Amino acid sequence: MITNYLKIALRNLIKLKGFTALNILGLSIGIAASILIIQFLRTELKVDKHHVDLANLYRVNTAFTVGGKETQTATSPSPLAWTMVNDFPEVYQSTRLLKPPGVNQFLIKFEEKSFFESKTYFVDSTFFEVMTYDFVESSPAGAIKEPFQVVISSLIANKLFGGQAALGKSIEISSQWGADQYEITGVYESSGLPSHIDGEIYINMRSGAIGRTFYDLDEWAGNNLYLTYLKLHPQADPSGLESKFPDLVEAKAGERMRTLGFSKSHFLEPVKDIYLKSKVSYQVGPQGNQSMVNILGIIALFVLIIACINFMNLATAKATLRTKEVAVRKVVGASRKILSGQFMIETILYSFIALICSFLIAYLVLPWFNHLAGRTIQLDIFHDKSLLLWTVAILFFTAILAGSYPSLYLSSFSPLNILRGSAGKGITAKKIRKILVITQFIISIGLIQGILIIQNQLEFVRSKNLGFNSEEKVVIPLNTPESAIKYQVLKNDLLADPNILFVGGSSTVPGQVNLNDGLYYGEGQDPSNNVHANINWVDPDYLTLMGFNLDEGRFFSQDRIADTVSSTIITEKMVASLGYSLDDVIGKNLYWTWDGITRKRKIIGVVDDFHANSLHKEVGNQIFFWSTTENPGYLVASVETGEINNLIGKMETTWQKHVLSDPFEFYFLDDRLQSAYETDQRMGSLIFAFTLLAIFISCLGLFGLAAFAAETRRREIGIRKVLGASVSGIVSLLSKEYLFLVILAILIATPLAWYFMTKWLSNFHYHIELSVFTFIVAGFVGLLIALITVGFQGLRAAGSHPVEAIKSE
Amino acid sequence: MITLSKIARYYTSGLQKSWVLRDMTLDVQQGEFLTIMGPSGAGKSTLLNIIGMLDQANQGEYLFFDEPVHKLKEKKRHELHKHYMGFIFQAYHLIDELTVYENIETPLLYRKIKKEERQSRIADLLDRFNMVAKKNLFPHQLSGGQQQLVGIARAIVSNPKLLLADEPTGNLHTSQGKVIMDLLKSLHTEGMSIIQVTHSEKNAGYGTRIIEIEDGFIRKDMPL
Ligand SMILES: Nc1ncnc2c1ncn2[C@@H]1O[C@H](COP(=O)(O)OP(=O)(O)OP(=O)(O)O)[C@@H](O)[C@H]1O
Ligand SMILES: [Mg+2]
């Protein structure tokens, strides 16, 4: 029986080659797209899911309230971890992770090899008991129990030792805190068990100068530098535990926080949610993006639905050619159930062919997809069991969605009609086809509207005035004391090159996390009513070369040596926060109190607000101090980019002449700032790509339908032509009904897209306003695409010879 | 075998009923070769389809081997149709995408007959109709007469009790038509009950009884 079905399915497939190809192509592209997206989503959802006791793992986050404003961070104070284990019975185990402040990179050395590694963290000895890692050398138990022990990833092990065993080897790790020798006591597999913590090197926290300063730092109010992870007892109630935090904070830090002028509270965040959902600052690794996961998931479903709709449309349209077969089969004894089964099997056959094609397509575009998504997704159908399961699920989903209606529709034909020699009617089918076409266009037009808005916002982000000039700036991080003390020499030597216009130094540059901050107040103001601001320690050249725009007063001046100790420059927003106005602020003093000592500096200048962070965040208060004693963290050079590679080469030579210990590293400021929008850009390009796909598939279907309509109306068109209808008249005759469908789709799609895009834009503190114009443009594009597709068929039909068409009755 | 009493069939167009059959009362015994005649549009095909259970009467009773067809559920009626009826059409109505062999095989597939049994039955028929060499050809590769032979083979391969033929020779030349009629005749002698619709007196001569219908009534009913 089945062989009989397959035979007739294959013969039909061959008989209607073009139609079938259209049908299968649309379905294949749809399936390929969903396979890729599903793989992407699976890798995103896998993060942190491997930890043993995942349900009981939490991170203690902190919410600070300064001047009525709350900020949340992933970090907390040092004693929290051990206090919780001791005082709260719910807590089974705790562990801390520290990214030492001010250290952006560590220099790793083994024999002749050396490189910088920023993903280097100091952790408690319990770290590998709380977090699960896949050890390839040694085991988690006892891996970093002692000071000067270190666990590295297989990536680092390979970099240092090639294929050789790493265990027991001794490496040097250094930063501005000094250099020490460490024994490797464990290696874990880099790929495989993704975590929200991006570390490659984990050092026992009791090691070296950092260990002496930070390991048992007994400070409750400030120095919230540690990521504290808790493993709770299985029966513990996390919200019950959370409710004990306020008393603890009050007892340990209440007094001190009041003198410092801020308050804070702690709360738990489940480890399983961190990667996709956490919104707090100071994470230790790139964040996933729940909305990207959601949006892509929806798009995958959309593309698949569009492809299925195509299939249904083309299949029901094609069905008119099979009324006779259905009727005959019924007469010779087929029941309706058996017939719908037959057509279902046909759809499964088609889906299966499409599935194979879709894998070919998916493999072909995989590199490109990985490039867009910024991931290394694999498609290993033979070893990846869940992928296989997903594939089978997709097969059934498409077969059922795409096949059910056509098979019910086909099997409903009454044999009487063909016995009387009249063809099937298909009024209902036409109506349903219309609904399906509208659905496709709602999705496509909604997606077009979405990408237009995303592209506009990304363009806005690129072109927004940031309050400084990020172009043609080379940033060289000065990570170690050896390089930092060479700042002045490097500066002088670099300036000798005519292509290097200015060189400046600063403790921080826009785009870097700035942990240097303080609480300030003005003359005669209440010290407890203070203003939070980030501090930039700079040399005078930095201010001019970055192009900060001076609104009032002056910059630091090399001639006035007093500026180094008694002056400050602040931003406009800081002026407002202090309750001053631009006219009266110059000459006022800025006060701060730390540990009972009050200091002051005179405000000599005001600059425009600038975006030290991405446009996702609101600009904060910023103040500048002239730094002479402190070595800058960054050297910034303003350069002519004409022969940039050459110039970088020269900079490297200069560097190597002076800094013997460290390798040369640099980046372009504008590139780095753009990287804050990487997720947004990736999402933009992914949505863009899949939107194009969705539209393409919709067009395939529409093209097929229009071809079909034109075919079935050949005779009518022929007669109309004989009666004198013009080509344009016939094209519009065939296009008219689609015009209406597309307009209806625009009306439905617009509010949906409006709603979702407003949500997306709210991720940015600075964003474009939605304009009706965008929506009109998108609708118009959709309309145009539809009309071109349909019009093409209309033209073809109108161009065919009328006499032949009439004869072909 | 068949008892029709007061069978009526009408179509509604708008508010108006147009009657095709009114008050058809008819008995057909097993082994008969009945011919239905009448002018075009008289309702011959409609009557045949009602007897073949492809269509249903609006009024009246239809007993088929004592089963009250007019009262049966769709499923049961389908079962009766499947087990007792074979159909032959004027336009042959073979499935274009299937070969001769496969066309004949189709009814057997719906009756879940084993492969060997299918092969032997089809081989017998092909042999009898001299079509063995043509079994792998598609319908469009055959002449009209040959197509109708396949149509007959398909109708009888499942051993129906009743063969219903709606102008089986309507599309054929006289000589081809004769072959078909001879074949029906010999099937009848072998015991098959046959009801045919025809416009041709000559073809009617092959049967055992003729009824003529007009305006929805049986005008004449005469044994031969
Ligand atoms: N589905 C239908 N809707 C409306 N009227 C119908 C329908 N089917 C048949 N009729 C009408 O019923 C009447 C009888 O049709 P039928 O096909 O039974 O005639 P016939 O005797 O077989 O004619 P012919 O010799 O031309 O085959 C015709 O007038 C036809 O128009
Ligand atoms: Mg008829």
Of A22-36, A321-335, A739-753, B209-223, least confident by mean pLDDT is A321-335
Of B49, B87, B109, the CB nearest to A1: B109
Has residue A425 got a pLDDT over 50? no
Q: A608 or A14, which is more confident?
A: A608
Give the C-alpha distances (Å, rounded to integers) separating A329 from A37, A140, A424, A687, B109: 42, 69, 15, 46, 11
In the predicted model, what is the mean pLDDT of residues B56-78?
A: 91
What DSSP line would sit under A527-542, residue for residue? TTS-EEEEEEEE-HHH
Residue A56 has a pLDDT of 95
First-to-last alpha carbon distance for chain B, in angstroms, is 19
CA nearest to B44 within chain A: A420
Residue A318 has a pLDDT of 75
Q: Do B95 and A325 touch (CB under 8 A)?
A: yes
* Candidates B56, B88, B93, B158, partner chain A, best to mutate (most A CBs within 10 A): B93
In the predicted model, what is the mean pLDDT of residues A605-629?
A: 88
* Angle ∠(A127,A132,A136) on CA atoms, nearest 5: 100
Has residue B45 got a pLDDT over 80? yes
Residue A809 has a pLDDT of 35
Q: In the predicted model, what is the mean pLDDT of chain A? A: 86
Question: What is the pLDDT confidence band of residue A642, given thresholds at 50, 70 and 90?
Answer: confident
Of B55, B105, B107, the CB nearest to A333: B107
Question: What is the pLDDT confidence band of residue A423, given thresholds at 50, 70 and 90?
Answer: very low
Residue B45 Cα to ligand 2 middle (Å): 4
Of A434-438, A519-523, B60-64, least confident by mean pLDDT is A434-438
> By a Cβ cutoff of 8 Å, what residues of chain B touch chain A?
45, 49, 54-55, 75, 78, 81-82, 87, 89, 91, 93-98, 102, 105-107, 109-111, 154-155, 158, 166
Residues spanned by the domain of B87: 2-223
B7, B20, B47: residue to mutate for ligand 1 pocket, most atoms within 8 A of CB: B20
In the predicted model, what is the mean pLDDT of residues A312-319?
A: 77
Question: What is the pLDDT confidence band of residue A629, given thresholds at 50, 70 and 90?
Answer: low
Could you tell me the residue ranges of all domains in chain A? 1-47+288-428, 56-277
Q: What is the DSSP letter of A281?
A: B
For B31: left if phi > 0, alpha if psi spans -120 to 50, otherwise beta; the answer is left
Has residue A647 got a pLDDT over 80? yes
Whole-angstrom distance, CA of residue A96 vs CA of residue A81: 7
Could you give the percent of chain A with pLDDT greater than 70?
A: 96
For residue B155, the domain's CATH number is 3.40.50.300
Q: A14 or B94, which is more confident?
A: B94
Provide the number of structural domains found in chain B: 1
Of A181-185, A244-248, A465-469, least confident by mean pLDDT is A465-469
Q: What is the DSSP letter of A136?
A: E
Give the C-alpha distances (Å, rounded to integers) separating A139 from A128, A205, A296, B56: 9, 19, 38, 80
Question: What is the pLDDT confidence band of residue A501, given thresholds at 50, 70 and 90?
Answer: very high
Has residue A716 got a pLDDT over 90? no
Does residue B37 contact residue B199 with C-beta atoms inside 8 Å?
yes
Whole-angstrom distance, CA of residue A479 vs CA of residue A135: 30
Residue A221 has a pLDDT of 86
Has residue A733 got a pLDDT over 70? yes
In the predicted model, what is the mean pLDDT of residues B23-42?
A: 93
Q: A295 or B117, which is more confident?
A: B117
Instruction: Note the pLDDT tens digit of each residue in B126-171.
Output: 999 999 999 999 999 999 999 999 999 999 999 999 999 999 998 8
Instruction: Note the pLDDT tens digit of each residue in A360-412.
Output: 999 999 999 888 888 888 888 788 888 888 888 888 888 888 888 888 877 87
Has residue A725 got a pLDDT over 80? no
Whole-angstrom distance, CA of residue A229 vs CA of residue A266: 12
Question: Which residue's structure tokens are 């006060």?
Answer: A591
pTM over 0.80: no
Whole-angstrom distance, CA of residue A353 vs CA of residue A364: 17
Has residue A433 got a pLDDT over 90? no
Q: Residue A357's closest CA among A70, A84, A23, A720?
A: A23
Q: A143 or A729, which is more confident?
A: A143
Cα dihedral A615, A619, A625, A629 in deg (nearest 10) = -40
- Provide the β-strand partners of residue A474: A637, A668
Residue B41 Cα to ligand 1 middle (Å): 5
Whole-angstrom distance, CA of residue A480 vs CA of residue A475: 15
Has residue A415 got a pLDDT over 70? yes
Residue A324 has a pLDDT of 79
Whether ipTM exceeds 0.90? no
Residue A81 has a pLDDT of 94
In the predicted model, what is the mean pLDDT of residues A422-451?
A: 75
Which secondary structure element, helix H or strand E, spans residue B223, and what is its range?
A: strand B217-223
In the predicted model, what is the mean pLDDT of residues A709-728?
A: 73
Residue A357 Cα to ligand 2 middle (Å): 48
Does residue A484 contact residue A658 with C-beta atoms inside 8 Å?
no
In the predicted model, what is the mean pLDDT of residues B34-45?
A: 92
Question: What is the pLDDT confidence band of residue A428, given thresholds at 50, 70 and 90?
Answer: low
Q: Residue A257's closest CA among A218, A221, A225, A223?
A: A221
Q: A215 or A347, which is more confident?
A: A215
